[in-house]
Structure 1
């Protein structure tokens, strides 16, 4: 017995020593190709959406840089206001007043947010999400090195960002934009590629910290939000603050203005540094675990956790708190601009005309337009909460629950109530922040109650969004990702459509397009009732589909 026992560690030691160098990356190529295969639809949609939104702003940028010197001077004065600089970028772009520089001013910051979102979701999807669903453990049982999964995820995100940069570099000079030189276009594309790499590196760190997909994504997106906030604060106040943000770095490359490449260097260094930190941290945890210790729970469960609804609310509590705080802050930020709407839009005749079509005063029309941003963010909460049904099923936790006396309808209904009621409350917080800050900035106290009512009018549209997610979950569970199309489409045609002069009939295909835009419009109850009935029908159909299909079991 002792001979066998003594021989075992020696055999293991010889085996470890005989491994060739570089096995930590074994299988990276296969995993990379597999990740591209999994994201063959998702990533092209992301990339093409960013390119489309950028190109759709070409005409707007041309209109904002008129040839008339007097009109150009008025436009510069309008755009140099604190509110506009906080929403766009550094004032230095205005010293090179061309349509191309206006495009950089308007879109580079928003493009950075979209590229960052794409990178974060890609890295988290192929690392932490696979660990949480136990896919990673199965994959690592094969010939796969310790760092292969993270390397493949980073390579996938990097590929998407490089393709995005190349497409922008190739299409912007051909868009007929005055001042869009080839060198400036290459720099513009490179800036978005670099910021995407930075957020991919940030996600590589956050997936090591938390054992949960939502927390890892939330941490990375919080870094993205903080970067944008620091950029905005620096552009309005002390410029040094903007240099604390990687978004501030890429904006100060000034594509189509100064065309400076060196600000991209610290961003590249940050991308490399965060990715390297992700590799180091990954060696200090087990598969499926996180470095941050889980919070100790109560020794005894509350009575609410013994009921399906109470348990569902507990699962969605963190998501609700995060979205509620973010929307309250977002609404307050937009509300603080309402007092300066006349000055902000003084020389933007096309935007004023688009707002005039809504009706009401300029402040009411602008408030109803930005309300849609609040609504879309609230709908993201509804989609995330509703799709928790799918993640619970794929993780194998539903089978044990339904083996008890819990019916399928009660289980789905508990999560759906948490999603729809929580989404309505999140929407209320955003509308409240918009109304209170708007009333303070305009001096019109009645605006607060008007905007809160205007926000709640969108609640049936939120319910339709959740109902569509449940419909997909019930009948086409593998296609639940298409639930994101509802808020994305609503934002593009409802918010950007007014700025980009998209046909008004496109709004008919969005549930948000049928809601009266209070307080600029009069209240109409018929759309509210019809949207509520549609939501109920979608939920009923989704429940019927779920009851009729088999569970996906582990």
Structure 2
């Protein structure tokens, strides 16, 4: 373990922008949720009505987990039911980034040549991820406790979030030992996260198979029962699972060579297919898996959101404050229009996440050293860049169309919601343009595109619910889109957003054409 603390400082220095951004940005969400809950349900009768309407809804339970009571803290914990999944995802990606990605880029070999122990890098990455999750949990706990909810419940809520992050940091450490590349490690880790969510959802929605939720770290976060008679002993499960995962990862790391993997790699063809002999075909090969995963995941969420539409409609009819929140997020005056338009905004923000990931593939190829061999052929820089940008432009359209169709199918509206989903594209393309701009001008800080998306997410969800100033909210491009269904489509704002996206993207490609490749 020699050199662990030095490498930990290096990890924290490299993540000095990204880590505080996600910690603080995500910690603001529960505080915003609590404020909106207290505004929407100011008395016990309205909260009890909410509980009666949603506690027995299988679709809501699948999405958010069990609802244990009608107090503000109970409603807050239920509204934050998906946060453990987000924290788990961030934690495992952080560990993979500072372990397997470092090996793939050749930097782990350089640090390993110094006075550094064999397992110091792995342990430093896990400590950084777990420390970030702990800070996030404490900020969340004290943030909501300051708003008047019981401190014990707030601490249990934050501990549940940190617990999920710790466990999946360990999962990421194990996944990093199994595959030959960072992409494969991320795939295995995300697969484990999806399995944990499915087990939790199956256990919570089925009375006879409730034990399934105890097999899931996401289920453990809910079984802590914040604000409903906290079960502190559940934390021991998470600590034990995290420690066991790290021990397994260390043992596996000792059994493989640097840069190697424990799972066998499937050998490819001796020569490339004719269909792979162009930059566009290569980009499709690199991007298709990401596009498929985003499409399937968002389509499944669309089915859930469409399935609960009638329940939400009943809730909004009985509570004017809730209807006002959805109306501010989007839509016209009709109850269902407001809900569906707000849902389309959420899907637009999610599709922007795919657009950012597809765009940053340019930087990933550059850092990994795979861009140089491609550019050493007859392929030009502009053409190579545009093949990836094309997926960041057309891919979100495909994702949104599939998601709009799935939502409409569950709601009983068929293809009727596809235009409403596609109306989010101009704002999504702004994120694509900004990501290209950062990749061209500031390649070392291209990951800041995720920070921009997090900021827009905060403005569109928390800021809208808390009635922030319109000038501040207007920073988000999603605030300038037509609220469909129910709203009136206006071509002017959409054209301005498209123009901003084109100018930013063209400037980024121009800068990419003139700078060195790679830039370390």
Distance 2:24 2:379 in 1: 44
Contact 1:90–1:252 under 8 Å retained in 2: no
**Given that residues 435 and 451 in structure 1 are in contact (C-alpha distance below 8 angstroms), is that contact kept between their aligned partners in structure 2?**
yes
Superposed displacement of residue 352, structure 1 = 0.7
Choose the corresponding residue for 1:420, options 369, 372, 393. 393
User: Structure 2 vs 1, CA of residues 296 and 242 (structure 1 numbering), >3 Å: closer, same or farther?
Assistant: same
Alignment match of 1:154 (pick from 126, 141, 145)? 126
Residues 63 and 536 of structure 1, relative CA distance in 2, 3 Å threshold: closer
Match of 1:541 in 2: 507
**Cα distance 1:519–1:173, how it changes in 2: closer, same or farther (>3 A)?**
closer
Distance 1:277 1:403 in 2: 42
Partner SS, residue 473 of structure 1: helix
Whether the 8 Å contact between 1:129 and 1:212 is mirrored in structure 2 is yes
Paired residue for 2:188?
Answer: 219
> 1:15 matched to which residue of 2?
none
1:274 aligned partner:
245
Alpha carbons 1:78, 1:345 under 8 Å: kept: no
Contact 2:25 2:455 in 1 (8 A): no
Match of 1:112 among 84, 87, 103: 84
Residue 74, structure 1, aligned to residue 45, structure 2: no
**Aligned partners of 2:28 and 2:140 also within 8 Å:** no
Does the CA-based 8 Å contact 2:157-2:226 persist in structure 1? yes
2:431 aligned partner: 465
Partner of 2:153: 184
1:522 aligns with 2:488: yes
CA contact (8 A) 1:32 1:155 kept: yes
1:233 aligns with 2:202: yes
Q: Are the structure 2 counterparts of residues 453 and 168 from structure 1 closer, same or farther at C-alpha, using a change threshold of 3 Å? A: closer
Q: How does 1:425-504 map to 2 (within 5 A)?
A: 425-439=398-412, 447-504=413-470
The answer to whether the 8 Å contact 1:399/1:553 transfers is no
Deviations 1:442-495 (A, max 9, x none): xxxxx3322111112222322221111111111111110111133323322223
Post-superposition, which runs of at least 4 consecutive aligned residues in structure 1 deviate over 6 A? none
Change (3 A) 1:29 1:382: same
Cα drift, residue 126 of structure 1: 0.7
Query: 2 CA distance for matches of 1:516 and 1:130?
Result: 43
Q: Distance in 2 between matches of 1:255 and 1:33?
A: 34
2:382 to 396, 400, 409: 409
Aligned residue for 1:517, secondary structure, equals coil
* Partner in structure 1 of residue 478 of structure 2: 512
**Aligned with residue 261 of structure 2, among 276, 286, 290:** 290
Q: Deviations over 1:275-321 (max 9, x none)?
A: 22212222232222332322332344222321111111111121112
Instruction: Using the TM superposition, name which of 206-215 and 533-542 deviates more.
Output: 206-215
CA gap 1:98/1:360 in 2 versus in 1, 3 angstroms: closer
Greater CA drift, 427-436 or 289-298 = 289-298
Pairs aligned (count): 515
Distance in 1 between the 2:216 and 2:308 partners?
A: 23
> What are structure 1's unaligned runs of at least 5 residues?
1-24, 440-446
How far does the alpha carbon of each residue in 1:390-435 deviate from its partner, in whole angstroms, 9 at most, with x for none? 1111222222322332221111111111222222212222222112
CA, structure 1 residues 356+188, in 2 after alignment: closer, same or farther (shift >3 Å)? closer
Alpha carbons 2:40, 2:321 under 8 Å: kept: no
CA contact (8 A) 2:32 2:466 kept: yes
Counterpart for residue 281 of structure 2: 310
In structure 2, the partner of 1:550 is 516
CA contact (8 A) 1:132 1:288 kept: yes
Q: CA deviation at 1:346?
A: 4.5
Q: CA deviation at 1:72?
A: 4.2
- Counterpart Cα distance in 2 of 1:425 and 1:507: 27
Which residue number in structure 2 is paired with residue 35 of structure 1? 11
User: 1:465 and 1:259 mapped to 2: Cα distance?
Assistant: 41
Q: Which residue pairs with 1:396 in the alignment?
A: 369
Q: Is 1:136 the equivalent of 2:108?
A: yes
Find out whether 1:53 has 2:29 as its counterpart: yes
Change (3 A) 1:292 1:375: farther
Q: 3-state DSSP class of the match of 1:56? A: helix
CA contact (8 A) 2:88 2:168 kept: yes
Give the Cα separation in 2 of the matches to 1:550 and 1:73. Answer: 62
SS of aligned partner of 2:114: coil
Unmatched runs of 5 consecutive residues or more in structure 2: none
1:86 — aligned with what?
Answer: 62
Task: Please report the TM-score for the alignment, with normalisation by the length of structure 2.
Answer: 0.93
2:147 alignment partner, one of 175, 179, 185: 175
How far residue 199 of structure 1 moved from its aligned partner, in angstroms, is: 0.9
In structure 2, the partner of 1:333 is 304
Deviates more, 1:299-308 or 1:31-40: 299-308
Distance 1:553 1:493, change over 3 A: closer
The equivalent of 1:261 in structure 2 is 232
Are residues 471 and 59 of structure 1, via their aligned partners in 2, closer, same or farther at CA, if it must alter by over 3 Å?
A: same
Whole-angstrom CA distance in 1 between matches of 2:71 and 2:355: 41
CA contact (8 A) 2:63 2:304 kept: no
Determine helix, strand or coil for the equivalent of 1:345: helix
For 1:450 and 1:522, locate their aligned partners in 2 and report how far apart those are by CA, in whole Å: 15
C-alpha distance 502-89 of structure 1, shift in aligned 2 (>3 A): farther
RMSD: 2.2
Among 354, 359, 364, the alignment partner of 2:337 is 364
3-state DSSP of counterpart to 1:287? coil
